[in-house]
Structure 1
Amino acid sequence: MEILAALRRLPPVAVDAVITIACGLNVVLQAGINGRLEWWVPLVASAYSLPLMWRRRYPFAMTLLCGLGTSFLAPAKLLGQFPAVQLVMTYTFADLCPPGKRALAIAGTVAGVTGSILIPGDEFANLGVVGMAFAVAHALGTTARARRDRIAMLEERALRHAEEEQAAATRERERIAREMHDILAHSVSMIAIQAEGGSAVVRSDPGRAERVFDTIGSTARETLAQLRRVLGVLRSEDADRRPLPGLDGLPALAAGVRDAGLQVRLEEEGASRPVPPDLAATAYRIVQESLTNVVKHAGAGTVVVRVRWDEGALRLEVSDDGHGDAPDGGVGGGHGLTGMRERVVAAGGELVYGPRPEGTGFRVAADLPIV
């Protein structure tokens, strides 16, 4: 086993050189056994076995060349019963040649072996013995080819699996980034606005200030709970398995924005029906991000959230009466709008946003297909 392992570590050219020398010596030895050893035999043996050095690069051509040599040397009693060079080339074309050339090489080898035995008048029984040797050489070459093909297939499968895992990890990182952006942007904005309002009324209206600070505390706790759920997938232990936010959370979302001093009107049209959890979460996040942008950027006093159930689609619209600019001062400039677009596209829907036709305020509309 150690010898075989050492041979496998040798460069292919070194292995072929050893095989070439061994096959050439075999011809010289067979010539000596048959009483045909003359001064020109080593030269013929070298020329006959030398094509083995190029057997990997040109397997079909070298098989043909060696076959011609075998046809001439076998009747001269220089090769013995088993022509080593031709056996090596049989293994080689079975291993390396494509199917068409492999079939031609098999036919040529069968014809050549048959002729080299029957034409000189050797016993017919020798044909079966020699044929068995060539069949074994061909089987070994076929096995080597099958093993190489299987290794290539497994490597390709492993590479494809690694690419799929990497793509899945990238999608998961993007999902977590969107979730964290939506959670933090909305909650921190609400907390900041409520804290400013609470500090303004802490002396004039202590009861209202207490409610404001209670709202800040509950908002912060809910934010921490959502972050633990989102980040829990990054840890090995079981994550918090709270359900994703959905459409039933919109009233509470609107109430939280009202506590920040913005008038929010939630309208629903059509008959509601169950939707997949991921679609419901997408709808919730779109409304959440839209309300966050209104609070942070619009300078609005009123915002209307419309949820319309149509045949095969859920339509969302969030419009305000602010100054009509997109986040960061330009349409499409904010990361929130980019995140919303990614969510809608992932759900197979369409997102439209921009200033309202009336000339004041900003509007975000999303169509989400319901399968």
Structure 2
Amino acid sequence: MPFVVPRSPELPAATWGSYGMTTLAVVPLIWRRRAPVAVLAAIVLIGGVYKVALDGPGQPLPYAGLIAFYTVALQCAPRVRVAVGLATVAAVALSVGWKTGTARELLFTLFVSAAAYALGRLQYTRQAYTEAVEARAAELERANRIEAEQAAARERARIAREMHDILSHAVSIMIVQAEAGPVAVRRAPERAEAAFEAIAETGRDAMAQLRAMLGVLRTAEASPRSPQPGVAELRELLERVRASGPRVSYERTGSVRELPAALEATVHRVVQEALTNVVKHAGASAVDVRLEYGAESLTVTVTDDGRGPGGSSSGGHGLIGIRERAAAHGGTAQTGPGPDGRGYAVRVVLVTSPQEVGT
């Protein structure tokens, strides 16, 4: 301002040295975030030199020092802040005592310095809160992404099990019927016609289920799934297996009741896969399917009189799928030799109580 508005004659003239020193007191602020304490010390030192050596019209306002003190409050550790605060109070007291020595100026300077410190701590709190919110949002996003990936993996596994069960069962029945067809044509033409009709019916059923599943996969928007086969559809499944050769018995014991749709679908798929292994590997003449309804569980047992573990244990992914389905309902699956070591048995225990299923 002295270069724009003339100063009073009794005041010292404006000099470039005075303004150079004033500017020098501001330059350290460039490094205030890297070394806040050193910058504050440099600004205080430059201000002291100015007062002692020049005391010209440069008017070194205290803003640079307040900004440096604010930065110390914002970035430094508690011990450093306490030490710098005590040193600042001492420096303010000496400066005021040397300059005017009035209580008014001392209180005003201390109040302004305390306000700068309080603003620094307030900004620290705001930054910490913002960082916490951002970290929480990032963590939530990661959790959602992981959950979505896990859900997609579970859905892929479910679809793989469904397609395996559908195709494996249908193809096994069709192969058995097709192999028996030529023999039946020569010996019993009426049985050959039934065999070919069973092949066609099995193929049509498999195609219908695959179309329904592929339709869900193609649909971009979420849509209700078509009902999955349940316990009621077991009789139709058993009839198709009977048509392929073995005698099939079916019994339900205990407190027979309606079960949740997902659990009934699991029962159907477990029986389907067990019968598929019987048709493909066991060479059995008789199969027994039993459902035992307990108070909080349902036990599914499929027993055959075939070649035993050596023949039917090669179920591949089928037995793995049975164990996965049982585990999904809090149950267990056991496979091994049948009664008296003859044939093969698949025993699956599924939890049916609402409390257990919910967990």
TM-score over 0.5 (shorter chain)? yes
Query: Which residue in 2 is equivalent to 1:246?
Result: 230
Change (3 A) 1:223 1:85: farther
Q: Work out which of the residue numbers 80, 85, 94 in structure 2 matches 1:119.
A: 94
Structure 1, unaligned stretches of length 5 or more? 1-28, 56-61
Tell me, yes or no, if structure 1 residue 301 matches structure 2 residue 250.
Answer: no
Give CA deviations for 1:241-285 in whole Å, capped at 9, x if unaligned.
321111112111111100111100011111112222222111111
Matches within 5 A, 1:221-370: 221-235=204-218, 236=220, 241-326=225-310, 331=313, 334-370=316-352
How far apart, CA to CA, are the structure 2 residues paired with 1:173 and 1:302? 35
Tell me, yes or no, if structure 1 residue 184 matches structure 2 residue 167.
Answer: yes
Farther off after superposition, 139-148 or 246-255: 139-148
Aligned residue for 1:119, secondary structure, equals helix
Aligned residue for 2:340, secondary structure, equals coil
**Amino acid in structure 2 at the alignment position of 1:359:** G
Change (3 A) 1:85 1:221: farther
Q: Work out which of the residue numbers 152, 156, 170 in structure 1 matches 2:139.
A: 156
CA positional deviation for 1:151: 2.7
CA positional deviation for 1:189: 0.8
Query: Which residue in 1 is equivalent to 2:8?
Result: none
Q: Is the 8 A contact 2:298 2:351 kept in 1?
A: yes
Give CA deviations for 1:311-340 in whole Å, capped at 9, x if unaligned.
21101111110110256x7x4762211111
Query: Which residue in 2 is equivalent to 1:26?
Result: none
Q: Which has the larger radius of gyration?
A: 2
- TM-score for the superposition, normalised by structure 1: 0.74
CA positional deviation for 1:77: 5.1
Structure 2, unaligned stretches of length 5 or more? 1-14, 52-58, 354-359
Change (3 A) 1:370 1:77: farther
CA positional deviation for 1:115: 3.5
How far apart, CA to CA, are the structure 2 residues paired with 1:135 and 1:31? 35
Q: Work out which of the residue numbers 130, 152, 156 in structure 2 matches 1:147.
A: 130
Number of residue pairs the alignment of both structures matches? 323
Farther off after superposition, 193-202 or 294-303: 193-202
How far apart, CA to CA, are the structure 1 residues paired with 2:347 and 2:221? 39
How far apart, CA to CA, are the structure 1 residues paired with 2:301 and 2:114? 82
How far apart, CA to CA, are the structure 1 residues paired with 2:17 and 2:157? 75
How far apart, CA to CA, are the structure 2 residues paired with 1:365 and 1:295? 17
How far apart, CA to CA, are the structure 2 residues paired with 1:162 and 1:88? 43
Farther off after superposition, 287-296 or 357-366: 357-366
Give CA deviations for 1:58-82 in whole Å, capped at 9, x if unaligned.
xxxx445555556655555579443
Farther off after superposition, 297-306 or 197-206: 197-206
**Amino acid in structure 2 at the alignment position of 1:262:** P
**Amino acid in structure 2 at the alignment position of 1:157:** L
Q: Is the 8 A contact 1:70 1:83 kept in 2?
A: no
**Amino acid in structure 2 at the alignment position of 1:116:** A
CA positional deviation for 1:358: 1.3
Change (3 A) 1:108 1:368: same
How far apart, CA to CA, are the structure 1 residues paired with 2:251 and 2:230? 16
CA positional deviation for 1:49: 6.5
How far apart, CA to CA, are the structure 1 residues paired with 2:238 and 2:36? 82
How far apart, CA to CA, are the structure 2 residues paired with 1:340 and 1:92? 65
Farther off after superposition, 138-147 or 180-189: 138-147
How far apart, CA to CA, are the structure 2 residues paired with 1:350 and 1:322? 24
CA positional deviation for 1:221: 1.8
CA positional deviation for 1:238: 5.8
**Amino acid in structure 2 at the alignment position of 1:191:** M
Give CA deviations for 1:122-173 in whole Å, capped at 9, x if unaligned.
6132443444444444444443443333333322222221111111111111
Farther off after superposition, 361-370 or 237-246: 237-246
Q: Is the 8 A contact 2:177 2:195 kept in 1?
A: yes
Change (3 A) 1:106 1:356: same
Q: Is the 8 A contact 2:73 2:120 kept in 1?
A: no
**Amino acid in structure 2 at the alignment position of 1:320:** D
Give CA deviations for 1:181-202 in whole Å, capped at 9, x if unaligned.
0110001111222233334334
**Amino acid in structure 2 at the alignment position of 1:32:** S
CA positional deviation for 1:208: 3.5
Q: Is the 8 A contact 1:324 1:360 kept in 2?
A: yes
Tell me, yes or no, if structure 1 residue 32 matches structure 2 residue 10.
Answer: no
Change (3 A) 1:88 1:338: farther
Give CA deviations for 1:89-116 in whole Å, capped at 9, x if unaligned.
634763x56xxx3x44554454444443
CA positional deviation for 1:31: 8.3
**Amino acid in structure 2 at the alignment position of 1:154:** A
Farther off after superposition, 147-156 or 201-210: 201-210
**Amino acid in structure 2 at the alignment position of 1:318:** V
**Amino acid in structure 1 at the alignment position of 2:304:** D
Change (3 A) 1:342 1:326: farther
Farther off after superposition, 163-172 or 295-304: 163-172
